[in-house]
Amino acid sequence: MERLQKVMAHAGIASRRASEKLIKEGRVKVNGEVVTEMGLNVSKNDTIEVDSIPITQEQTLYFLLNKPRGVISSAVDPKGRKTVVDFFPSVEQRIYPVGRLDYDTTGVILLTNDGELTNKLTHPTYGVEKTYVAKVTGLIDKKAIKTLEKGVVIDDYKTQPAKARILDINPTSKTSLVELTIHEGKNHQVKKMLMSVGFPVEKLTREKYAFLTTDGLQSGEWRELKGFEVSKLKLLVDD
């Protein structure tokens, strides 16, 4: 048994709070009866309708994909390009990515059908850590690293303090490897941050999402999250 609003959120109807609003507005029925009070528990056998349209109580699924370059972080692409969902042809349920990675960025991306968890993981309030490794043009120095750690202005917005460190400097190719851990997820944020200190990104990989990594996964491979990993993710964004 689970709370009605939680089941609605898992089904992708709306966030839990938005689902509560739908219930208060009298737009939800359980087994044909309008429900307006909070706290009702429902089972898999109950019929739930929102605006007279039945919702499907799907099994919640959680996956980690090692995203390759040249793949869109979306469920569908109008231009017909390959998407992260295309790596899951055997999964019958509708799943979607948690947040986005750029077309040419590789690494950790999560996919699920848990709408509530997705909303929380992508909401800036919770500040889930994401760690990237970037190959940049130029020989980066400690001054640039300190600037990144304090926060830089991109698109008229100052980024929050980050963790940064130099992994490697190659005088021959005049490139550097930089690790950057951020709590936000602005559009092209890592690329813009490094560009702002004078080091354009050549290649970018997301090495970690919270505590999750692509260890053991080749590019394009995926695995289902273990139960304890899902629980740990939920604890990170627990109200």
What pLDDT, on a 0 to 100 scale, did the predictor assign at position 17? Answer: 87
Burial of 3 (0-12, 13-18, 19+ CB in 10 A): middle
Does the fold of domain 130-209 match that of domain 62-124+216-236? yes
Contact by Cβ (8 Å): 98, 118: yes
pLDDT of residue 56: 74
pLDDT score, position 125: 86
What is the predicted pLDDT for the residue at 178? Answer: 98
- What pLDDT is stored for residue 160 in this prediction? 93
Give me the half-sphere count of Cα atoms (radius 13 Å) on the Cβ side of residue 232: 9
* Bridge partners of residue 239, in order along the sequence: none
Active site members: 102
**Whether 136 contacts 200, CB under 8 Å:** yes
Which sign does the torsion angle of CA 117, 123, 129, 134 carry? positive
- Residue 179 contacts residue 93 (beta carbons within 8 Å): no
Tokens representing 14 are: 């709306």
The DSSP bridge partners found for residue 64 are: 110, 223
Which pLDDT tens digits describe the chain residue by residue (239 residues)? 888 988 888 777 888 889 999 999 999 999 999 999 888 999 878 999 999 999 877 788 999 999 999 999 999 999 999 999 999 999 988 899 999 999 999 999 999 998 889 989 998 889 899 999 999 999 999 999 999 999 999 988 899 999 999 999 999 999 999 999 999 888 899 999 999 999 999 999 999 999 999 999 999 999 999 999 999 999 999 86
Instruction: Quote the pLDDT of residue 11.
Output: 77
Q: Tell me, what's the pLDDT at 237?
A: 93
Helical (H) or strand (E) element with 137: strand 130-137
Backbone angle region of 80, left / alpha / beta, with phi > 0 → left and psi within -120 to 50 → alpha: left
Q: List strand residue ranges (DSSP E) for 1-122, in order.
A: 2-3, 28-30, 33-34, 41-42, 48-50, 53-54, 62-67, 96-97, 106-112
What is the Cα 122 distance to its own chain's centre?
Answer: 6
**Which CATH number is 130-209's, of 3.40.50.300, 3.40.228.10, 3.40.50.2300, 3.30.70.1560?**
3.30.70.1560
pLDDT of residue 55: 86
Q: How many residues does the chain have?
A: 239
Fold of 62-124+216-236: Alpha-Beta Plaits (3.30.70)
Q: What is the pLDDT of residue 13?
A: 84
Q: Are strands 41-42 and 201-209 parallel, antiparallel or unpaired?
A: unpaired
Q: Which fold has domain 2-54?
A: 3.10.290
Tokens found for residue 231: 């629980």
Question: pLDDT at position 194, please?
Answer: 98
Do β-strands 28-30 and 48-50 pair in parallel, antiparallel, or remain unpaired? antiparallel
* Domain definitions of the chain by residue range: 2-54, 62-124+216-236, 130-209
